[in-house]
Every structure is written in structure tokens, then in C-alpha cells.
A and B are shown apart, each in its own frame.
Chain A
Amino acid sequence: MADGLVAQVWSGRLIYFLCAGFLLFLSLVPLGFTPRFLPRPDLLLGLTFAFMLRRPDFTPFWLIAIIFLLSDILLAQPVGLWTAIMVVTAEFVRTQEYRFRELAFPLEWLFVTGTIFLALLANRIILSMSMVPVAGFGSVMLHFIVTVIAYPVVVFLCFFLLRIRKITPDEAIRYGHRL
């Protein structure tokens, strides 16, 4: 039984890693270099939140650090800051996960929206404090809105393609999660 559980957790982590890698790959495919009015949503962020609120054991903090550090490096962003913010955010979401097991999806959506907003705000404040040029406020807001709108779709795909769903109280006891 314990062995089966360990295998399940590690295969879940592998799935998260592969999905995140695939999303990074997709964002790098060179498709036209005209800046578009509507930016593509940050699916990696959505994926991470969807996993955190369903199977926090699939997204340990070190895996999140690896994925986001990789995205910082590949996407030409300031190295390390967004990763640090995401590790802290993930730890915060992990402590809140048990509240959302029984709640309806809109509440989860609201929570995710607020958390992403705070994370972006922290990122922006630290960047401007350290005199790094930041992108225009309007375009960042637009990106934020698009990302939030895409979140239900990500959750839906996680459920139907990857079979990632919320854990029941019974499973929580079995996996040794907080109740």
C-alpha cells in the first residue's frame, strides 16, 4: 500500500514536470513576432495553481523552484525573483488547500485571482524598487486578466486529460494530509 502511494506521488510529480515543460516549449515556439493586443495567458501559472489546490503532494516546493527558475532563464526574465515569489505563494496556497476541498469552484477561482494579483504586485514592487524597468501597467493587467480567465479551462483540462481532481476527506486521511 505504502509503495503504491509513493509510486503514485512520483508519477504525479513527473506529470506536473512534463506538463510544465510542454507549456514552456509551447511558449517558445516562434509564431509571428508582431506584438499582439491580447497576450497569451500564462498557462504555467494556471497549471501550478490547479495542481496545488488538488494534489499539493504532486508539487513539492523544490519542483516549483526548478520549473520557475527554468522559465525565468528561458523566457529572459529577471532571474530568481519570480521563482522566489512563486515558492512563497505555493507554500501559502498549500496551507489553504484543505479549505477548498469541499467548496464550489467559483470560490477557488476568486482565491486564485487574488493570490495571482498579490504575487504580481509583489513582483512589480520589488522590481521597481531595484530599478529594473517594468512593463506597462495596462499590458500587465491585460495579461493578468487573460490568465485568470484561462484558469477554469486549465482546471477542466487537468480533470479530463490528467485525471487530477480534488482529494476527498477519506483520501486525505489515507495520504496523511491536513484535514
Chain B
Amino acid sequence: MRGVLVGVLVVVLLAIFLLWRVDNPRVEQLRAALIDRIVPNFEWALVPAAKFTNMISGFQSYVNIYEQNQELRRELQRLKGWREAALQLEQKNAKLLDLNNVRINPKLTYITGVVLTDSGSPFRQSALISIGRYDGVIEGWAAMDGLGLVGRISGVGQTTSRVILLTDSNSRIPVIIQPSGQNAILSGTNTPFPAIEFLEAPDAVHPGDRVVSSGDGNVFPRGLLAGQVVLGRNGQFLVQLAADYQRLEFLRVLRATSEEKIGVSDELVGVGDTPIDPKPQTSEDDG
């Protein structure tokens, strides 16, 4: 009797696995719904537990706070110089844009979520955040911390959603390497430094170049900073991520504004069934 029960259970479990393999989106939706039920119940404990552990490691670094302070002062000095340069460039840019009469994309707006959990498995790099379908999150949107790209939304529940980090081995993001303007793919390798793949002319790329999202394939908006090029041990180009992966507490999820597609070549764009909305999208920042 017992053996039969075990056998039936194993068959059912394997059937679930097969279903997951065949009809992946539906089972993943079910998974997202279940996580949505379970994890927020533990939010009260998850966030303090992470804070507490970080505090302990904070105490450990208390010792070298003096050196850190000195280093910060030097860095601040350097940054002041950069700030001056940035201000001048901003003015210059504004002037040039004015001359060209360029219309910039509607400003990207974002929603901010608290990081609830990490993936819990050493082979997956993902995070669960506390915003979901109720907040209008849609699969595929970009997630950033204050500075750089962190990952992509994959799996949305009602009040939670999962972010696949750039370091995950399934993450592939189209990027441009500045200043050479080369297109490439940033692919996660389950290490702290994702790799740059499909470079056309590797000679034109140097360590220190900026890597930004290219917006190809409508995965991400253009121009989000991912990080800097560094040279790997075996001569491969890697990216040092701009986002501070050690301290991900809040993530900004960018609302992607879908751009108007121009499919026909010999008609007037915007005339016909799609009326043009003259109002720019209203921005409402929750963060």
C-alpha cells in the first residue's frame, strides 16, 4: 500500500515536471502566484535579517573607516572636477539640442520596490521585489539601482515580481560600448563579471569604456548604464557592473514607454487609424 502511494506520488511529481517543461509560462505563472502568497508573509523577518547581517559586516569594516574617509576625500576632489565638466557639457548639450530642435523621449518614470529575497540557489542570480501586477509591473521591464542597470523583470505576481540579475547565466542584454559605439551582447556567467559577446571589432574596445543598454530588440530603453569594460584573465572582455550588487535594498523598475512603430514605407506616418496623442505622458514618481 505504502509502496503504491510513493509510486503514485513520484509519477505525479514527474508529471508536474513534464508540465513545467511543456507549458512553461503557465506553470511559472502558478509559481509566481504561490510565491506571492508565501513570501510577503515573511517580509517582517526577511528585511530585518538582512539588515542585521549587513550591520555585523558593517562593524567589521569599522576598523578601516579612517582610510576609507581619506579615500573618499580624494575621490570627492576628483568628482568636483567631473561635476564642473558635466555642468559645462550639460549647457553645451542643451544649446545643441535647441539648435537641432530635437524632441527627447518622454522622461522615463519608475516605480520603486523593496528587495525581499534572493534566489536562494547558488546557480541562479535573481531577486524578488515587493511590487507586482497591482503596481502595473510588466514582464521585461528594466530594474536599476540608483546608478546602474541591475536586471530584467521575469515573472510577475500580484504583489511581487522576480528580477533576473545581469549576472545570471540566462541573462542576455543587447548593449552598446561607448565611445566606439559597437553593438554587443552582455551575457551573464554566474560570476560577478558578466561577459561581452558578439563583438564585431574587439580592437576598438578598451578597458574602461562605458557599457550602456542599446535598446535593440525592444528589451530595454536606450542608454541605461550597465558598467565599465574590464579585461578578464584570459583576455576576454568583461563588465564591472555599475550597480552596487552587494547592497541591493531597493530597486527602481523603469516603465518602458513603447515607441511608435513605423511599419509601412509609402504612407504618411500618423495619419489614419492611430491618432497621435499630443500630450506627453504624465510622470508620476513613486520613489
Contact = CB atoms under 8 A, between A and B. Distances in A.
* Genuine A/B complex: yes
A139 interface: yes
Contact of A31 (B31, B34, B50, B167): B50
- Chain A: interface residue count, which band? 35 or more
B218 to A, nearest CB: 24
B261 to A, nearest CB: 31
B122 to A, nearest CB: 3
Contacts of B118: 28-31, 33
A160 interface: no
A164 B14 CA distance: 32
A132 B17 CA distance: 11
B35 interface: yes
A161 B201 CA distance: 60
B245 A34 contact: yes
B86 to A, nearest CB: 29
Most buried by B among A32, A69, A81: A32
A84 to B, nearest CB: 4
Interface in B89-129: 115-128
Contacts of B116: 28, 30
A67 to B, nearest CB: 13
A30 B246 CA distance: 10
Contacts of B21: 78, 130, 132
Interface of B: 5-6, 9-10, 13-17, 19-21, 27, 31, 34-35, 38-39, 42, 45-46, 49-50, 53-54, 115-128, 162, 165, 167, 169-170, 190-192, 245-248
14 contacts: A32-B245, A33-B165, A34-B167, A35-B125, A36-B122, A73-B34, A75-B121, A76-B31, A76-B162, A77-B121, A78-B21, A80-B20, A132-B21, A136-B190
